[in-house]
Amino acid sequence: MIKTKNLKKVYTTEEVETTALNNVNFEVKKGEFVSIMGPSGCGKSTLLNLIGLLDNPTDGEYLFGDQEVSRFSERQRANLRKHNIGFVFQSFNLIDELTVFENIELPLLYQKVSASDRRKRVNEAMEKMEIVHRKNHFPQQLSGGQQQRVAVARAIMADPKLILADEPTGNLDSSHGEEVMQMLLGLNEAGTTVVMVTHSPTYAEYGHRTVHLFDGHIVTENVNGKFHL
């Protein structure tokens, strides 16, 4: 599904060069659930952003499917993103001025889906995430767990092949965290590839495989023994 070769990301400010990722070789197969762990500042989110095509690498190769995308223009990346990738963020990143319904609807708007179709699909997603009763609320009126459910609903709206979750449970208490993990797991079992960054070893074990990052390098890769059914 995705494959990186000697991926490198250097942040340059006026005087300081910070290497966030250094020669990362990383592969995710179709249908996999991969967890990424590591201390703060080790480059987890940078890697996720590169995978998610939110940012371009400084050097190295990145194959998405069988396309080399590391030198894509903003427009090409936007295009690829909107049909293939769904994002779930730690801070939910819902737009405060849009209602639950409108937030979930957003990706479909950019895919120019017709209004009636949009309504149908958003309603289905809300049912799946059990937030139909909140459809006209604004994000501030929801609990953290509910907000993340909205965010997940939005992420799956476009039927992405890949879901990227950046510490999706970071702002949630354990019961809500568990809930979100179950949802991701469910999506994965239905065939969606999931890459998740997390601090929590417990949640990392939901994945088939855990990748440990340290100072921009991949240090270990564990295949998780236990499978949840």
Partner 1 sequence: MFKSHLKIALRHLIKRRGFAFINIAGLAVGMACSMLILLWVWEEYSYDRFHEKADRIVRVCARGRIGDTVIDQTSTCAPLPGTLMMDYPEVEQAVRILRGNAPVQYGDRVFVESGMLIADSTFFDVFSFPLLRGDRRTVLSAPDACVITQTMARKYFGDEDPINKVLTVAGYYRFRVTGIMKEVPANSHVHFNGVFSLASVREMSANDAWMSNSFATYLVLREGFPYRSLEAKFPDFIRRHFGPDESKIISAAGNKWEYYLQPLTSIHLDSHVTSELEPNGNRTYVTFFILIAAFILCIASVNFMNLATAKSSLRSREVGVRKASGASRLQLVRQFLSESVFTVFLAAVLSVGIMELAMPAFNNLTGKALSLGSLAGGTTLPVVLALVLVLGVLSGSYPAFFLSSFKPVAALKGQPSEGAGKSRLRNGLVLFQFSISIILFVGTLMVHRQLVYMQAENLGFSAENILVIRNYSGVPNRSFKAALRECPGVVISSGSETVPGYPFRNMVATPEQWKEITLDWNACDCEFLETMGMRMAQGRFFSRDFGADTSAIVINETAARLLGWKDPLGKIIWFSGRPLTVIGTVRDFHYESKLNKIEPSGMVLLGSPGFTENAVVVKLRTENVPETVSAVKALWDRHVQGTPFDYGFLDEEYDNLYRNEMRTEKIFAVFSCLAIAIACLGLFGLSAFAAERRTKEIGIRKVLGASVANLAALLSYEFTQWVVWANLLAWPVAWYAMKRWLQNFAYQIPMDWRVFLLSGLLALAVALLTVIYQAVRAATANPVDSLKYE
Binding site residues, partner 1, CB under 8 A: 49, 52, 54-55, 74-75, 78-79, 81-83, 87, 89, 93-98, 102, 105-107, 109-112, 154, 158
Q: Hey, what long-range contacts does 184-191 have (CB within 8 A, 24 or more apart)?
A: 184/33, 184/88, 184/152, 185/33, 185/228, 187/152, 187/156, 187/163, 188/31, 188/33, 191/31
CB of 154 to partner 1, least distance (A): 7
**CB nearer partner 1, residue 95 or residue 219:** 95
Tokens of 190: 């239905």
Closer residue to partner 1, CB minimum distance, 96 or 229? 96
Q: Closest approach of Cβ 204 to partner 1, in Å?
A: 23
Q: How far is the CB of 211 from partner 1 (least distance, A)?
A: 20
Please report how close the Cβ of residue 144 comes to partner 1 at its closest, in angstroms: 17
Structure tokens at 170: 């970071």
C-beta closer to partner 1: residue 10 or 98: 98
* Closer Cβ to partner 1, 78 or 219, answer by number: 78
Rounded to the nearest 10°, the torsion over CA 69, 72, 78, 82 is -20
Give the span between the Cα atoms of 200 and 197, in whole angstroms. 9
